[in-house]
Amino acid sequence: SEHVAVLLNLFYGEPKLAPRTLAMDDKLLVEFVDPLAMDWDAGLVDPQLSKGVAIKPLRTDPYTQEVSFLYCSPPHRVPPGMAKPQWTHPMVEELYVIEGDYVWADLGRMRRGGYCWWREGVYHGPSGTDTGYNLFVRTVGGPLVNQFATEKRPFTWTPEHRPVLPRELANYGQPLADAPNY
């Protein structure tokens, strides 16, 4: 087909059938938002993260404060030897790379289609992007809270590819080929 779409199906746990209920909570209905009609908001980004990144909020759960949002960054170049702290969260952070490259000094380079699920208390980073990126991000188990380590770690644009995967998925954790540099 000339019209192609990517469906990103996110779960809170193992999918299973549940009994149908007639009760419905209108507060939990997902409302339509048009991201193209929204402005990018840099004021929603933790000030300890890189300048230039911005968010388009998509949804906040009224009960759990879990959030989903688009997250973007322009290309950044950092000086050789730059070091930044790692960070973690008291909730799960899930992200999907829509476009661009997101470089993690501790895990490798994520490209378009890259996906990660960070459990609570798992430190990650430092990170950066040489191409810029657009991401879909959501939290599970509460609002987004960043907790930064005090120690700074070195950042590199060429980290080793080290995905963290369950054993049965290990064969899928191969790096993608480098994009052509024209």
Strands 133-140 and 92-100: what pairing? antiparallel
Instruction: Tell me the two tokens of residue 14.
Output: 């193992």
pLDDT at 165: 82
**DSSP string of 151-180, one letter each residue:** EEEE--SS--------GGGGGG-PPPPPPP
98 to 64, 65, 78: CA distances (angstroms): 26, 24, 23
- Written as tens digits, the pLDDT of the chain (182 aa) is 577 777 888 877 777 787 877 788 899 888 999 999 999 999 888 887 777 899 999 999 999 999 999 999 999 766 677 888 999 999 999 999 999 999 998 899 999 988 999 999 999 999 989 899 999 999 999 999 999 999 999 998 889 998 888 888 888 888 877 766 66
Per DSSP (E only), the strands in the chain are: 54-60, 67-73, 83-88, 92-100, 102-104, 108-110, 115-118, 127-128, 133-140, 147-154
Distance in angstroms (rounded) separating the CA atoms of residues 125 and 182: 29
In order of their start, the domains of the chain are 52-164 (2.60.120.10)
pLDDT at 77: 66
What's the burial of 85, exposed, middle or buried (CB within 10 Å: 0-12/13-18/19+)?
A: middle
Residue 146 phi, psi dihedral angles, 5° rounding: -100, 135
137 to 54, 60, 92, 97: CA distances (angstroms): 12, 12, 11, 9
Q: Do 135 and 176 form a contact (C-beta atoms < 8 A)?
A: no
User: What is the DSSP code (8-state) at residue 40?
Assistant: P
Q: Do 126 and 155 form a contact (C-beta atoms < 8 A)?
A: yes
pTM of the model: 0.86
